[in-house]
Structure 1
Amino acid sequence: MAAHLLGAEGLGLEYPTRVVFESVTLGLEEGDRIGIVGRNGDGKSSLLGMLSGQIEPNAGRVTRRSGVRFGVLDQRDDLDADETVGRSIVGDGPEHEWARDARIRDVIGGLASDIPWEAKIGELSGGQRRRVALAALLVSDWDLIALDEPTNHLDVEGVAWLAEHLKRRWAKNAGGLLVITHDRWFLDEVCTETWEVHDGIVEPFEGGYASYVLQRVERDRMAAATEAKRQNLMRKELAWLRRGAPARTSKPKFRIDAANQLIEDVPPVRNPIELQRLAVARLGKDVVDIEDVSVSFGDHEVLRDITWRLAPGERTGILGANGAGKSTLLGLICGTLQPATGRVKVGKTVRVGVLDQQFSQLDEIKGDRVREVLARTKTTFTIDGKDHTPAQLLERLGFAREHLSARVDDLSGGQKRRLQLLLLLLSEPNLIALDEPTNDVDSQMLTAMEDLLDSWPGTLIVVSHDRYLLERVTDQQYAILDGRLRHVPGGVDEYLRLRQEQASTPTDRPDLATTSTEPEDASGLSGAERRAAQKEISAIERRLEKVSDSIEAVHRRLAEHDQSDYEGLQHHTDELREMEAEVAQLEERWLQLSESVD
């Protein structure tokens, strides 16, 4: 039986303007990896603050097992601005002591390898400082770790490293994790349970994000017809999870049969043929042609020899490490940046819309009220054949009616992002460039954004560290590696593999650094890897058949057993649980392998 780490009983929290929690009771045991989700402002960080002791509840109490070491990363760090990066992470100890610790070396390599060791904390950018704070936490020993938005300022590679680190940090039934993040891929990869914070309560769900979506849809469907609007959106999200996302269905406790039954009448999230037809009608055949383009800043060559033809209706994600040149590439496409060599040709009918990280589109209207901004916008937006007014569209994006009277400059980051996206769509561009669109956005807003983009006919370019978003709204990915643009048919997994090979194969020729001795197929596997995977699949199928027969035999013995023989019944029940656990593990592995060889 798992040991108790932390518990909360009857927690209440209120501020002068509202009640955040009324009476929350929950517990966390050894082996729990819990993701906390919910809308911005519903109390996720407040819950974490109460559980970690940083916020005193108005009612109830939090108990912690004696001796539990609890490490916390909240959204503000307590690093000393005059301290060096090295001392902030590893302290005053001599180098030979911490350098021989494999975990410390791994944390530094994963989070801080590109940050000068002797730099002062006060000299760092916000993103660098955040990574130093996370590294300083992870190098220490903890029984329980709480992380508030740890993936902020991490690129795709950094998010993948953090997920792998947290999966390996403790044994399966040891340690505990609480994490708030809007990164749905990360939730699926790391978490075994999801807590949804809403309406003053905390509602638990088994599994990561995919399992949570399924259970939410089941609950909403059974609850009442009034939930139909949100249910339809979640059903569409589930259709994506089941059909489109690589390995998404391989997560523990994700009930495949129930998911299939639930979405059997749900169409694919996008109709690519219809969107392509509409995009050609709006754009013509020429969108953007980039020919032999290089871009330098001073002596630093950011992009070199880029040739890329953007076609009408393409939905492309751009991958690359921080500083690789992703925003520079967007600048070329949008015309805000001119190349040092080569040329960029933009089609005559192209109208570019940009969603940037700085909310620059809102600068001119920051003193206006949201209602006034909407009143000046007469355009309607069509979704699934129905026209929506700007106010209806904003509400669909999760914007509360009471905020329509607020001035734009007084809106929160998430509210500004909603308004920014609305104005972008209403400007009727036929090429949209999204530069880190998930900043300041909760999971409900992300789902609504994805839903809107599903029916948008045009060319879409997305730069984002949010792996889930990239896989969800784009149909192909390109990566910037050593200043060159490379198509990655295997998506994020292939990009991460190329980056790993790049790190282990120093060369001035990126094309040579990624050459394999054996050809790979579209799945990214070599011939030998594919054969090995297929062999393992066959072995698992044989074992599943054998264990299933054994389970049936135990069920028969249970039905025939003397019901007053409690010890005998318990023996059969324990035997059954062990076999069912083995089946769950085998099915999970089978699904992972099947996805990899598709």
Structure 2
Amino acid sequence: MAGCIIGSTQFRYTRQAKYVAFLFGCEGIHLEYPAKTVLDNVALGVHEGDRIGIVGQNGDGKSTLLGVLAGLVEPDDGLVRHTRGLRIGMLGQRDSLEDEASVEYAVVGDTPEYVWAGDPRVREVISALIADIAWDAKVKTLSGGQRRRVDLARLLVGDWDVLMLDEPTNHLDMHAIAWLAAYLNRRWPKGTGALLTVTHDRWFLDEVANAMWEVHDGLVDPFEGGYSAYVLQRVERDRVAQVTEQKRKNLMRKELAWLSRGARARSTKPKFHMALAQELIAEEPPVRNTLELRAMAMQRLGKQCVELTRVTERFGDRTVLDNVDWIIGPGDRIGVLGENGAGKTTLLKIIQGALKPTFGFVKIGKTVKFAVLSQRLDELEEMSKYRVTEVLSRYRTRVVLDGKETTPAKLLERLGFSSRHLYTRICDLSGGQKRRLQLLLILLDEPNVLILDEPGNDLDTDMLAVLEDLLDTWAGTLVMVTHDRYLMERVTDDQYALVGGKLRHCPRGVDEYLELLDERNRSAASGRTFADVTGQGAAAQAQQGASSKASDSGYTNAELREMKKRLASLNKKMGTAARKVEDKQAEMDGADPTDFVRLGELQAELDELRAAKEALEDEWLELADALGVE
């Protein structure tokens, strides 16, 4: 959808003390379709400096709300008001690019090259989003993802007072999503401009939003702060109101527990009060018991899962995988990071034995049973004429999940389907419903190695929380590819990056992966090879002797010896710390479940032991990095 200019003269911002200028809004908006009321008496206002994230279940009207506020959708009743001359740029889910236009014309129009090339902002947008697309290529020759990036670039190079973005992270890899968040945070001076974005990417929401709107049941509920704050306030709202939707509340509490204890804790976010969060989750256990799940996986898989040895894969002159050695063990929960086209899907195919590598070999354990959730929904096409209940009748009536027996119908309900959906034909389901049914059918086959390729596609934030909850109790090996950073950090325990054909373990997760990409880009600009930067040439350098190692590292031989002693000592301490954590967990598991005081004491002791263990691990990683130990 092309950007639009509303009004005839340019709006000038005027700010006074403790005054925030109104930009646009609506009042008394009512809009309904034959089978559903989308908006019912909605009143909203957007002011300078607002950065609003919009969430809600699929089909609840998020995109329609954007269209109404932009003046592109006419409501049945109510008023939409815009400040005179306000310039609104909108990214819809479909573009209006001309098929016969060149990429250059689609992005910068008739603007002379010396003008746009002299603008650092325009150059940055082009470099970050479409550097891999030929400037003179016709729009009609582009893939869907490339068209989407061209349309986003077109919008971002424009001069808008307000940006409305509908799913802006679609078809962007994790590096581009991180760039987009940083770009939007500095696009306007603080306290000016406005941003409204509909997205299921929760990490992105937490980075760019200072307020949230939840669209549901024809209403729009506002929340202060980003996604973390929204989760907190939603849990508190549910607790005070004593809502009947107990399952959804428990999922939000579980997600809040992870947010507060893990990498996404944001004490600086507006209204995200950590003390209140800790009170709300005081009795909430960790999102998953990794040790217990790993033990269950060992029972199902044995000791061997998948092992890659010197795997190389080439397509013509291009090397996608370069001499990869990788052991995937039972119970491992692994996330694979990489840019679009880096070879992630190829790696997944090699892991499951669907593709034989050019060189090297893959050893798959005898008891391994794979299940693959692909990006496509081809598996459901042959079933499209059947009803959901007819498809479920082909599977066992009882399945085991989380060590407990359950039925396919209960699993379906857990994935957000109601009883009426049982009699719906597969072809009539929405994209998100098909994705959830696809996952259900995979789990009904009871695999012990699960490969997920972009599992979050077509799922709203609530359904993503359901998916995460389901995977938390799944005992087996999990390998996942996704550009959803939140989902990656939430579901997996270890992340590996595929960069330049090399597979690198990233102990610090996504942050370390993004640093790798930045370093690669800097090395390319300076003429160094990426192997030099990432230490892939370490084997050759090792032949130069210990003295050259000491010189290259910047440490003396005496310092290196002391560091090695400290590393050995940390190894022993980490083993002791791990045993203490296991013992305390066992003590907690055996405690009286009705003695809440004792359970609280044990939980505090367990958290303290875990913190001490993590501190030792962090120190070990720093020393190992300094010494070049892998």
TM-score (norm 2): 0.81
The structural deviation recorded for 1:382 is: 4.3
| Structure 1 position 223, deviation (Å) | 1.1
Aligned to 2:148: 130
Check the 8 A contact 1:379/1:426 in 2, yes or no: no
- Deviation, structure 1 residue 384: 5.2
Amino-acid identity (%)? 57
**Residue of 129, 140, 150 corresponding to 2:158:** 140
Distance 1:254-1:41 versus aligned 2 partners, 3 A rule: same
Alignment of 1:106-125 (within 5 A): 106-125=124-143
CA deviations on 1:516-571 (whole Å, 9 max, x unpaired) are 9689xxxxxxx9xxxxxxxxxxxxxxxxxxxxxxxxxxxxxxxxxxxxxxxxxxxx
SS at match of 1:365: coil
Partner of 1:208: 226
Pair 1:91 & 2:115 matched: no
Paired residue for 2:534?
514
Q: Is the 8 A contact 2:27 2:42 kept in 1?
A: yes
Q: 1:371 aligns with which of 389, 392, 398?
A: 389
CA contact (8 A) 2:402 2:474 kept: no
SS at 1:7 equivalent: strand
Residues 52-92 of structure 1, C-alpha deviations (whole Å, 9 max, x = no match): 11110001011001111100001011100000111111112
C-alpha displacement at 1:234, in angstroms?
A: 1.1
- 5 Å-filtered alignment, 1:487-566, equals 487-506=505-524, 509-514=529-534
Secondary structure of the corresponding residue to residue 232 of structure 1: helix
Partner deviation per Cα, 1:300-359 (whole Å, 9 max, x = no partner): 211110110000000000000000000000000111111000001100000000000111
CA offset digits 1:483-538 (Å, max 9, x no partner): 1101011111111111011001026743312359689xxxxxxx9xxxxxxxxxxx
Letter in 1 for 2:90: V
Q: Residues 75-474 of structure 1: matches in 2 within 5 Å?
A: 75-224=93-242, 226-383=244-401, 386-474=404-492
Amino acid of the residue matched to residue 344 of structure 2?
A: K
Residue 484 of structure 2 is aligned to residue 484 of structure 1? no
Q: CA deviation at 1:398?
A: 1.2
The 1-side partners of 2:553 and 2:523 are apart by: 14
1:241, 1:249 within 8 Å by CA — same for their partners in 2?
A: no
* CA distance in structure 2 between the partners assigned to 1:232 and 1:331 by the alignment: 36
Is there any run of 5+ residues in structure 1 with no aligned partner, and where? 520-526, 528-593
- Structure 2 residue matching 1:444: 3-state secondary structure: helix
One-letter amino acid of the counterpart of residue 435, structure 1: D
8 Å contact 2:523–2:530 — kept in the other structure? no
CA shift at 1:408, angstroms? 1.1
Equivalent position of 1:559 in the other structure: none
CA-CA distance at 1:379 after TM superposition: 4.4
For structure 2, the residue ranges without an aligned partner over 5 or more in a row are: 1-18, 536-551, 556-562, 564-614, 620-630
CA distance in 2, matches of 1:475, 1:80: 44
2:586 alignment counterpart = none
- Maintained 8 Å contact 1:8/1:51: yes
Deviates more, 1:394-403 or 1:252-261: 394-403
Give 2:87's aligned residue.
69
Q: Which amino acid aligns with 2:206?
A: D
CA distance in 1, matches of 2:397, 2:517: 44
Conserved in 1, the CA contact under 8 Å of 2:259 and 2:265?
no
Whichever residue aligns with residue 46 of structure 2, its letter is L
Would the aligned equivalents of 2:523 and 2:529 in 1 still touch at CA under 8 Å? Answer: no
Deviations 1:19-51 (A, max 9, x none): 111110010000000000000001101111101
Superposition deviation, residue 241 in structure 1? 0.6
Residues 384 and 314 (structure 1 numbering): CA distance in 2 closer, same or farther, change over 3 Å?
closer
Q: Which residue of 1 aligns with 2:23?
A: 5
Residue equivalent to 2:58: 40
Q: Which amino acid aligns with 1:175?
A: G
Counterpart Cα distance in 1 of 2:46 and 2:399: 46
Number of residues paired by the alignment?
A: 523
Work out whether residues 245 and 472 of structure 1, in 8 Å CA contact, stay in contact via their aligned partners in 2: no
Q: Distance in 1 between matches of 2:400 and 2:231?
A: 26
Counterpart CA distance in 1 for 2:243 and 2:286 is 23
Please give the alpha-carbon distance, in whole angstroms, between the structure 2 residues aligned to 1:355 and 1:379: 22
Q: Over residues 428-454 of structure 1, what are the superposed CA-to-partner deviations in whole Å (9 max), with x where a residue is unaligned?
A: 010000001111111111100000000
Q: Deviations over 1:230-285 (max 9, x none)?
A: 21111111111111224544423211100011111111001011001000000001
Tell me the alpha carbon deviations over residues 347-386 of structure 1, each in whole angstroms, 9 at most, x when there is no partner.
0000000000111322332221111111222243445554
Deviations 1:190-240 (A, max 9, x none): 000000000110000111111101111001111125232221111111111
**1:542 maps to what in 2?**
none
Q: Distance in 2 between matches of 1:400 and 1:125?
A: 36
Tell me how far 1:143 sits from its aligned partner: 0.5
Cα distance in 2 between the residues matched to 1:326 and 1:401:
37
- Structure 2 CA distance for aligned equivalents of residues 32 and 225 of structure 1: 30
CA distance in 2, matches of 1:341, 1:129: 35
Give the aligned residue type for 1:398. Answer: G
Q: Aligned-pair RMSD on alpha carbons?
A: 1.8
SS at match of 2:105: helix
In structure 1, give the amino acid aligned to 2:20. A
CA distance in 2: counterparts of 1:377 and 1:311, whole angstroms: 29
**Against the structure 1 CA distance between its residues 14 and 257, is the aligned structure 2 distance closer, same or farther, given a 3 Å change threshold?**
same
One-letter amino acid matched to 2:366: K
Q: 1:270 aligns to what SS in structure 2?
A: coil
Maintained 8 Å contact 2:455/2:482: yes
Separation in 1, partners of 2:178, 2:292: 35
CA distance in 1, matches of 2:438, 2:156: 36
